[in-house]
Each structure stands twice: as structure tokens, then as C-alpha cells.
Amino acid sequence: MVIMSVDLGLARTGIAFCDKSEMLATPAGNIEESNDNVLAKKIASMAEERGAEIIVVGYPVNMNGTIGPRAEKCREIAGKIGKYTKAEIVLWDERSTTVSAYAALKDGNVRGRKKKGIVDSLAAAIILESYINYRRNMQ
């Protein structure tokens, strides 16, 4: 099944997809939109275009497991996405994914502006890989 992943950020929202085989999460770019309703519509539209049946939304739980303002905002936006799509919406713990994305880019010697444009979609791919691995282990 095609699955989409979303890493909601303050300036950019990273997007990733996996194919029907659920073998590989691939970064698919960013959306730069500050209006939550417009962002939700754009995400739902991308999911529909690609035939995504599940949209995994990164859920930034605090390191101690508590829910902070950012996680509450992500839950709110996830609810808005759900109003515009038939796809199942899944909130997924995204602790440290952006840190992991920056580390991967550093290891790949990606610098400057190029890093800024890639990190959010790479974080979305890391979130999606985590979710795909969970699905595999549950089968």
C-alpha cells in the first residue's frame, strides 16, 4: 500500500512516500505554507494524487514522553488533513528524526542551502521508515 509521511515544521513541511511494496521511504520534497487549512488541503491533495491510503504525521512527543504545544499543533493539523482525505491518519512519534536527518546529511557532506531544502523531507522519510518497520514487525 502507498503510504505518505509528513514532517510538520514551522517554515516547511517535509513529505515522503513509500511504494506499494512498503520497502523504501523516499523523500518527496517540501511544502512551504503557513496557513494550516491550506497546508492540510495541499497534503491531502498530494496523498490523493499518489494514491496514499495512510498519511503518517510526525508527532513530536517530548523526550520525557509528555505532549507539548508543538505536538498539540501537529494533532490539530492532522485532524484538518483528515477532513480533506479518505486516507487513514496516523500520528507517529518523531522524536529525534530531524537530528537524525541532519546527521545523515552531514555524513553525506551536504552543506548550506542544499541541506536546508532537504532536511525536512529526509526527516519525513525517517518517520516513514520507522512506521514501515513497525508494520513489518506487526505482521
56 has a pLDDT exceeding 50: yes
What pLDDT digit, counting tens, does each position of 32-44 carry?
999 999 999 999 9
- Retrieve residue 111's grid coordinates: 552543506
What does DSSP assign to residue 18? Answer: E
Looking at residue 108, its pLDDT comes to 55
| Cα-based distances in Å from 20 to 14, 42, 93, 128 | 20, 22, 23, 13
Domain 3-138 class, CATH top level: alpha beta
- Retrieve residue 96's grid coordinates: 529525534
DSSP3 helix / strand / coil % (the chain, rounded to 5): 50, 20, 30
How many helices and strands, by DSSP H and E, does the chain display? 4, 5
Looking at residue 115, its pLDDT comes to 47
**Exposure string for 46-63, b = 16+ CB within 10 A, e = fewer:** bbeeeebebbbbbbbbee
24 has a pLDDT exceeding 60: yes
What pLDDT digit, counting tens, does each position of 95-115 carry?
665 555 555 555 555 555 544
- Retrieve residue 8's grid coordinates: 510538520
Rounded to an integer, the average pLDDT of 68-76 is: 95
Q: What is the band of 118 on the pLDDT scale with cuts at 50, 70, 90?
A: confident
Distance CA 72, CA 51 (A): 27
pTM: 0.87
3-state SS class at 93: strand
Rounded to an integer, the average pLDDT of 53-74 is: 92
Q: Where are the domains of the chain?
A: 3-138
